[in-house]
Amino acid sequence: MAGDLGRTLDDEYIHQLPDRDPVETQEWLDSLDAVVGEYGPDRARFLIAKLLERAHETTVGVPGAVRTPYINTIPPEEEPEFPGDEHIERRIRRFIRWNAAVMVIKANHREKGIGGHLSTFASSATLYEIGFNHFFRGRDAEGGGDYVYFQGHAAPGVYARAFLEGRLDEKHLDNFRFEIGGHGLSSYPHPRLMPEFWEFPTVSMGIGPINSIYHARFNKYLHNRGLDDTTKSRIWCFLGDGETDEPETLGAISLATREGLDNLTWVINCNLQRLDGPVRGNGQIISELEAVFRGAGWNVIKVIWGSGWDRLLAKDKDGALVNVMNSTVDGEYQRYKAEDGAYVRDHFFGKDPRTKELVSDMSDDDIWALRRGGLDFRKIYAAYKVATELDNGKPTVILAKTIKGWTLGPDVEGRNATHQIKELTNQQLQELRRTLHLEDDIPAESLEGDAVPRYFRPQPGTPEHNYLVEARDRLGGYLPKRNTTITKPLTLPTDEDFAEIYAGSGKVEASTTTAFTRLLRNLSRAEGFGDRVVPIVPDEARTFGMDSLFRELKIYASKGQLYEPVDASMLLSYSESQDGQILEEGITEAGSLASWTAAATSYSTRGIPMVPFFIFYSMFGFQRVGDLIWAAADARARGFLLGATAGRTTLQGEGLQHQDGHSLVLASTVPVCQAYDPAFAYELGTIVEDGIRRM
């Protein structure tokens, strides 16, 4: 494994260094051994972590650890007190789990093969419910509230909660995936199909994560430019461990660190499974992701083991249990949850006589009852609270270990095919009813013969209903909820602002790209409009002749310009500023489009209409990031996409990929995109002027 190789190289490096004081070295080693022997490995790990922290503070130059033992980041003694009503919240989670499952099952009874997903939300219900009850701030909260990118396949659970809140009724749930004729629910988060409910389309893997990063950055951009106070808003993004294989998911995480996006929290549901089988059967996806995110500079909070494991880890004085945890691969962890307590005793704890002795006083049922951290509400609450209170200027990722299909029964939990299971038999539903302790709420006869399973919703005035309503009132309103109330209206540009482009270039030949740059300058100077213009380029501004705007509009840099540029004495110098207007994204069309989406949807997320222009090079727009463009269309984005230096005339000899004769065709396939191919400056002016008015 790569980790073993890393340790080997570190060992070789250490052994090559001369030991100038072997006696002192031995004293340090003896001290560490004494701490382990007297107080256990937890205390030793804490001391070593503090030493590394101090080493960084004093610039000793010791490399930071990117991979830590396979245990929870937050020790039990540092967990905050859980402030909620455990009993009521547990009841609410059970109602939501039940309704989410029944919704999908009824849809597939009505139409075989209609689809839907049972297992993703079953594994992540606790992750969401702790957020809904304690952390996710609605639009009425101070500062405009939070933004939640929900994992697409978990949509049934979000609908089930909205049903309990009274925002949806049984007719809506019965029309899950049956949208024709109204009162239907879209399969996944979809703002165009449900424009008052969903904010962000996320089911296309990797799109939600990259958009959440650039959304968090755009909120900082709005604040630094003095357009909006976004300091109290947090972006939450929920995704699956299998989704991290998408390049869009992890490709921009270093940007989040560079930009100091402490307003961003990711929660990765590590149920160890993707659609067909294990994510990393021969490794550990949590350890792999920890190394990736730590290396990129994120705060990493691992929530691997539930509270039941705390006692065992406290007894693990010689580290045998941690060693077993470290060496067990995900394929094994998945298998354990598809078996029983006796199997776990023999095959997990039985790997070492010392670990088997640790559970000698536990029954097989006790062992089976040991939960994973992502299913433990106390552990998740602690992780969220720490994540939202960190003040080190870094983004945070929470790696929460769960079980795919949890509570849905032994034929579903942890099975390779669990993602494809859309229905449960009456017997399986009866078992789910017992597992969720809903015998007093769901009549047994509703699950017999040809009876149709029933939803359950606590009536207004009941403790559960009151708890739901009071939690959302306290946090500023319901989520998800899309808002289109404009708080800072936009003043449209005047005829004078378009006069130059309509006048033409006289006898001097000029490309439409050059004409657009002149128009962009004029629009950026327009009173009441100019500060809302957001030019976005993927490291091609000089190619487009836009470098003339660098000094005037300046390039946005969250820390300002900490150096004197090499061309400082030139008129067109590379000028960065904390309140700069241009988003110069580097060589990333995907990142540029994500920035464009954030700006193009700010009219709904912040009530502040912005006018983004994403200028991409030739065909590196619709062809290269078409999925992100479709997602932007689904999000009801408003803005301009421009293919600069496009066409077959100027790029001959640069290869077929550059000979762009198809961008217009691709653009026209997006139904809400009005595609044009202007040949003259006045045409370009008409398109932009009319587009601004219509949008």
Residues 303, 445 within the same domain: yes
Residue 652 pLDDT grade (very low, low, confident, very high; cuts 50, 70, 90): low
Residues 521, 431 within the same domain: no
Q: Is residue 162 part of a domain?
A: yes
Residue 304 pLDDT grade (very low, low, confident, very high; cuts 50, 70, 90): very high
**SS3 of 18-60:** CCCCHHHHHHHHHHHHHHHHHHCHHHHHHHHHHHHHHHHHCCC
Q: Would you list the DSSP string of 672-683? A: T-------SHHH
Asked whether the beta carbons of 286 and 270 are under 8 A apart, the reply is: yes
Give me the phi and psi of 368, to 5 degrees please: -65, -30
Q: Is residue 345 part of a domain?
A: no
Residue 232: C-alpha distances to residues 143, 212, 386, 562 (Å): 5, 16, 16, 27
Residues 464, 500 within the same domain: no
**Strand 533-537 vs strand 264-270: parallel, antiparallel, or unpaired?**
unpaired
Residue 446: the pLDDT is 87
Residues 443, 532 within the same domain: no
Please give the average per-residue pLDDT across 501-520, as a whole number: 89
- Rounded distance between C-alpha atoms, residue 472 and residue 364, angstroms: 40
Residue 82: the pLDDT is 97
Please give the average per-residue pLDDT across 445-458, as a whole number: 88
End-to-end CA distance of the chain: 53
Q: Work out how many domains the chain is built from and give that number.
A: 3
Residue 9: the pLDDT is 39
Residue 48: the pLDDT is 85
And the tokens for 482?
């899309």
Q: Is residue 79 part of a domain?
A: no
Residues 46, 97 within the same domain: no
Residue 113 pLDDT grade (very low, low, confident, very high; cuts 50, 70, 90): confident
Residue among 271, 329, 248, 337 nearest 118 (CA): 271
Q: Is residue 330 part of a domain?
A: no
Domain boundary among 475, 507, 526: 475
Residue 7: the pLDDT is 40
Residue 11: the pLDDT is 47
Residues 44, 123 within the same domain: no
Residues 203, 101 within the same domain: yes
Q: Is residue 323 part of a domain?
A: no
Of the listed ranges 152-156, 658-662, 666-670, the one predicted with least confidence: 658-662
Residue 644 CB contacts under 8 Å (≥ 6 apart), including other chains: 513, 516, 540, 543, 544, 615, 616, 617, 618
- Rounded distance between C-alpha atoms, residue 398 and residue 373, angstroms: 11
| Residues paired with residue 265 on neighbouring β-strands, in sequence order | 236, 396
Residue 42: the pLDDT is 72
- Rounded distance between C-alpha atoms, residue 385 and residue 177, angstroms: 35
Residue 133: C-alpha distances to residues 94, 267, 455 (Å): 14, 16, 21
**Strand 264-270 vs strand 147-149: parallel, antiparallel, or unpaired?**
unpaired
Residues 158, 98 within the same domain: yes
Angle at the Cα of 537 from the Cα atoms of 259 and 571, rounded to 5 degrees: 95
286 pLDDT exceeds 90?
yes
Residue 651: the pLDDT is 60
Instruction: Find out whether the peptide bond into 480 is cis, omega within 30 degrees of 0.
Output: yes
SS3 at position 643: strand
Neighbours of 71 (CB within 10 A): 20
Q: Is residue 353 part of a domain?
A: no
Residue 246 pLDDT grade (very low, low, confident, very high; cuts 50, 70, 90): very high
298 pLDDT exceeds 50?
yes
Residue 460 CB contacts under 8 Å (≥ 6 apart), including other chains: 166
Spell 173-187 as b/e; 16+ CB within 10 A means b.
bbbbbeeeeeebbbb
Please give the average per-residue pLDDT across 69-76, as a whole number: 94
Residues 523, 590 within the same domain: yes
Asked whether the beta carbons of 71 and 305 are under 8 A apart, the reply is: yes
Residue 420: the pLDDT is 78
Q: Is residue 121 part of a domain?
A: yes
Q: Would you list the DSSP string of 427-490? A: HHHHHHHHHTT-TTTS-GGGGSTTPPP----PPTTSHHHHHHHHHHHHHTS-SS------SS--
Q: Domain of 403: which CATH number?
A: 3.40.50.970
Greater confidence, 543 or 473?
A: 473
Residues 229, 113 within the same domain: yes
- Rounded distance between C-alpha atoms, residue 385 and residue 141, angstroms: 18
And the tokens for 427?
């017997």
Please give the average per-residue pLDDT across 451-461, as a whole number: 91
- Rounded distance between C-alpha atoms, residue 255 and residue 210, angstroms: 10
Residues 199, 245 within the same domain: yes
Please give the residue range of the domain that contains residue 58. Answer: 2-65
Of the listed ranges 18-22, 277-281, 554-558, the one predicted with least confidence: 18-22
Residue 257: the pLDDT is 97
How high is the mean pLDDT of the chain?
91
pLDDT digits (tens, 9 = 90+) for 323-350: 999 999 999 999 999 899 999 999 999 9
- Rounded distance between C-alpha atoms, residue 562 and residue 334, angstroms: 49
Please give the average per-residue pLDDT across 664-675, as a whole number: 91
Residue 5: the pLDDT is 32
Residue 40: C-alpha distances to residues 46, 65, 67, 137, 217 (Å): 10, 20, 20, 40, 42
Residues 518, 468 within the same domain: no
Residue 112 pLDDT grade (very low, low, confident, very high; cuts 50, 70, 90): confident
Edge-to-edge strand list for the sheet holding 583-584: 583-584, 533-537, 611-617, 640-644
228 pLDDT exceeds 80?
yes
Residue 3 burial (CB < 10 Å; 0-12/13-18/19+)?
middle
pLDDT digits (tens, 9 = 90+) for 120-131: 999 999 999 999
Exposure of 674 in the CB half-sphere (CA atoms within 13 A): 12
Q: Is residue 74 part of a domain?
A: no
Asked whether the beta carbons of 571 and 551 are under 8 A apart, the reply is: yes
653 pLDDT exceeds 70?
no
Residue 660: the pLDDT is 74
Asked whether the beta carbons of 70 and 300 are under 8 A apart, the reply is: no
Give me the phi and psi of 190, to 5 degrees please: -150, 95
Q: Would you list the DSSP string of 308-342? A: HHHHHHHH-TTSHHHHHHHH--HHHHHHHTTS-HH
Please give the average per-residue pLDDT across 304-311, as a whole number: 97
- Rounded distance between C-alpha atoms, residue 377 and residue 391, angstroms: 24
Residue 694: the pLDDT is 94
Greater confidence, 580 or 410?
A: 580
pLDDT digits (tens, 9 = 90+) for 602-629: 999 999 999 999 999 887 888 889 999 9
